[in-house]
Structure 1
Amino acid sequence: MCVKQKREKKKWNGTKWKKVLNILLKVLGAIVVAFLLFVAAVYTVNKISSHSEKKRLEPYGQHVSVDGKQMNVTIQGKGDETIVILPGFGTASPALDFKPLISELSPYYKVVVVEPFGYGLSDQTEKERSTANIVSEIHEALQSLHIDRYILMGHSISGIYSLDYVNKYANEVRAFVGLDSSVPSLSEQKIDSSDTQPIKWFRDLGFARVQLKLSADPYDELPYDEQTKEQLNILIRKNMYNTTQLNEAESMYSNFKTAEKQTFPPNLPVLFFVQANHPGTDQWIPEHEKLIKDSVHGEMVLLEANHYLYRSHSKEIAEKFMNFMGRIQ
């Protein structure tokens, strides 16, 4: 091959690679533009939908002033004894979420559902989500309503907060009922602010709504009417990944560590409702047993249910709870 032919081949190869490179750049540019348009569409739809849902949100309960902010509390029933219910982590609307259980208990008790800051219709707060702060805020809400003698009932993470609560306010709490409540020895993983920052971007761009759209309905085939389910879904989208709850997630590991030093007072009646088959650990039942081994009145009821057992087994929980309270009178 002569020098001229070599030059022409080299030139042709260079032209070919330039064309390939141009095509690749155009494809890449198209992908980037398409992605940005998709993000913009998700963001816009989320903003419009959030504005529309805000108008359809129906207020419930009553606001009480706590630490200069508004905390939402609902009260149903007029029984002589009072039950105070505390939610698990991330519960979008405690008052509506516990509705099946409230319906079973309210004919016999006064049932109070506290929505901590960042939950339900309560304000958010920038204050550290330590157990001490959360417990103090809940107590302040109850004090403002002149509720000073009650049975404490807590789901999930509220079991950790309740350990501190029943020791601080032992003269007020008549008994504790755990609804698949957390135990100190089975701690959550440590979460830092660097872990929650991407979640905030995910939320602010509107992708939390997409996530919910692709997820199964947690209230499907459960005893909730359509109006309640609609309001629950609005509040799930409103409160999901809010800053207060993310701050609580960051404080969770240290809150579990603090709880390791605590136990229930031996003379406090304790009743646990626990899922019989925990999907993540075989220590769920043994660790609950340890917490009540020194209790004068300590019992555990196993249920064939998931973590949100009060949604599906409210009638059974109410019956066994009332039976338990009748035996410790």
Structure 2
Amino acid sequence: MELDTTAGKKPTSGLKKWLRRLLKIIAALGIAIFVFIAVVFFVNRFSSKSEQAKLLPYGQSVAVDGKYMNVSTHGQGDETIVLLPGYGTAAPALDFKPLIEQLSPFYKVVVIEPFGYGLSDLTDKERSTDNIVSEIHEVLQSLEINRYILMGHSISGLYSLDYVNKYPSEVSAFVGLDSSVPTLKEQKIGASLLKQLSLLRESGFARLLLKLGDDPYAEWPYDEQTKEQLKILIHKNIYNANQLNEAENMYANFEAAEPLTFPKALPVMFFIQVNHPVTDRWIPEHEKQIKDSVHGKIVLLEADHYLYRTHSAEIVENLRMFMEPLKQDK
């Protein structure tokens, strides 16, 4: 009598067939993922080169430490306003356009694009407050601008606090545009997160995420050409080495600024959002900054953090009213 040996082999044969199919699926998925990553990478490289040809230059290059910083100047007023951007602003001279248009009939407006911003070069120097302030001052000295109102958005309020204490004879007033306060520190950013952001940039996935997200300038008062240039410069500068290094230094920069106060005689004006989305200390902490100021004022605006985009006319009107009696006192 012969034994039937096939009964025990069929399940094993079926399992092997199932494993082979699974391995084929895994291999196909792996290839698909690899192809997808490669496509994202090469599309980003191609797009970056293509966008460079569409980029319209503006401003002038000023030499600082062997690199070049971009500066855009507008208006012919007797008084000069030096505009400094918030953290990560892709192209300050373009982003500030609504405010520049309102300021330039009355002031000479100088927009400084720090290293890593706008059309400025990248630098190897640490993005400490001391270096950033020194570079801004060197630019102004090169342009022979020796007396000015310093106006800073967001994180530039922190740098400006150091600046007005180092160069008190040059700054005639400080104007904060929802400016940062040293006592409201940013969280420390870990090295692993910075590496991830750098990888997003280099791989091209930062561009993809921007493409999938909402257009940040769609509803703002910019003409179509400006919007196009802003998008190009967002792709050019997002998560670049200088901006990541600035983020890495941010906590230390806040700590360094905490003991500082505005000089009592310096006119200080804050334009701040009335309803901060994160903290209820936003208004009180700004009030503390001017409690000893001889000339200090806060203007509350129903706006978001980028209040200069939507309330530029109101900002300029209030600034002129604030500064007019101070001119007469001189």
Alpha-carbon distance change, 284 to 9 in structure 1, aligned in 2, over 3 angstroms: farther
**CA displacement 1:56-92 (0-9 Å, x = unmatched):** 1000000010011000001111111000000000001
Q: Measure how far apart 1:9 and its partner are.
A: 4.3
Q: Measure how far apart 1:170 and its partner are.
A: 0.5
Q: Measure how far apart 1:326 and its partner are.
A: 1.0
SS of 1:286's equivalent in the other structure is: helix
Q: Measure how far apart 1:201 and its partner are.
A: 1.2
Residue matched to 2:199: 201
Residue matched to 1:62: 60
Q: 2:43 aligns with which of 41, 45, 65?
A: 45
Distance of 2:132 and 2:7 partners within structure 1 = 76
Distance of 2:63 and 2:216 partners within structure 1 = 32
Q: Give matches, 1:99-110, under 5 Å.
A: 99-110=97-108
Residue matched to 1:127: 125
Distance of 1:58 and 1:33 partners within structure 2 = 39
Q: Measure how far apart 1:144 and its partner are.
A: 0.2
More off after superposition, 319-328 vs 155-164: 319-328
Distance of 1:138 and 1:42 partners within structure 2 = 37
Distance of 1:299 and 1:109 partners within structure 2 = 20
Q: Measure how far apart 1:200 and its partner are.
A: 1.1
Q: 1:272 aligns with which of 249, 270, 273?
A: 270
Gap runs ≥5 in structure 1: none
**CA displacement 1:296-319 (0-9 Å, x = unmatched):** 111111111110000111111111
TM-score by length of 1: 0.97
Q: Give matches, 1:242-261, under 5 Å.
A: 242-261=240-259
Distance of 1:88 and 1:246 partners within structure 2 = 14
Q: Measure how far apart 1:24 and its partner are.
A: 1.2
The amino acid that maps onto 1:28 is I
Q: Give matches, 1:282-301, under 5 Å.
A: 282-301=280-299
Residue matched to 1:235: 233
Matched length: 326
Residue matched to 2:325: 327
The amino acid that maps onto 2:303 is A
The amino acid that maps onto 1:261 is P
Q: 1:182 aligns with which of 180, 183, 186?
A: 180
Q: Measure how far apart 1:194 and its partner are.
A: 2.5
SS of 1:70's equivalent in the other structure is: strand
Distance of 2:216 and 2:268 partners within structure 1 = 29
Q: Measure how far apart 1:18 and its partner are.
A: 1.4
1:145 and 2:130 are equivalent in the alignment: no
**CA displacement 1:248-268 (0-9 Å, x = unmatched):** 000001000101111111111
SS of 2:81's equivalent in the other structure is: strand
Identical pairs, percent: 66
Distance of 2:282 and 2:143 partners within structure 1 = 35
**CA displacement 1:183-212 (0-9 Å, x = unmatched):** 111111111332211111111111111111
Q: 1:78 aligns with which of 76, 81, 92?
A: 76
1:315 and 2:313 are equivalent in the alignment: yes
**CA displacement 1:267-314 (0-9 Å, x = unmatched):** 111100001111111111111111111111111111111100001111
SS of 1:75's equivalent in the other structure is: strand
Residue matched to 1:263: 261
SS of 2:68's equivalent in the other structure is: strand
**CA displacement 1:198-231 (0-9 Å, x = unmatched):** 1111111111111111121222222211111111
Distance of 1:128 and 1:324 partners within structure 2 = 36
SS of 1:300's equivalent in the other structure is: strand
Q: Measure how far apart 1:8 and its partner are.
A: 4.2
Residue matched to 1:87: 85
SS of 1:328's equivalent in the other structure is: helix
Gap runs ≥5 in structure 2: none
The amino acid that maps onto 2:227 is K
Q: 2:158 aligns with which of 157, 160, 170?
A: 160
Distance of 1:168 and 1:192 partners within structure 2 = 30
1:114 and 2:112 are equivalent in the alignment: yes
SS of 2:225's equivalent in the other structure is: helix
TM-score by length of 2: 0.96
The amino acid that maps onto 2:177 is L
The amino acid that maps onto 2:51 is E
Distance of 2:274 and 2:102 partners within structure 1 = 22
The amino acid that maps onto 2:128 is S
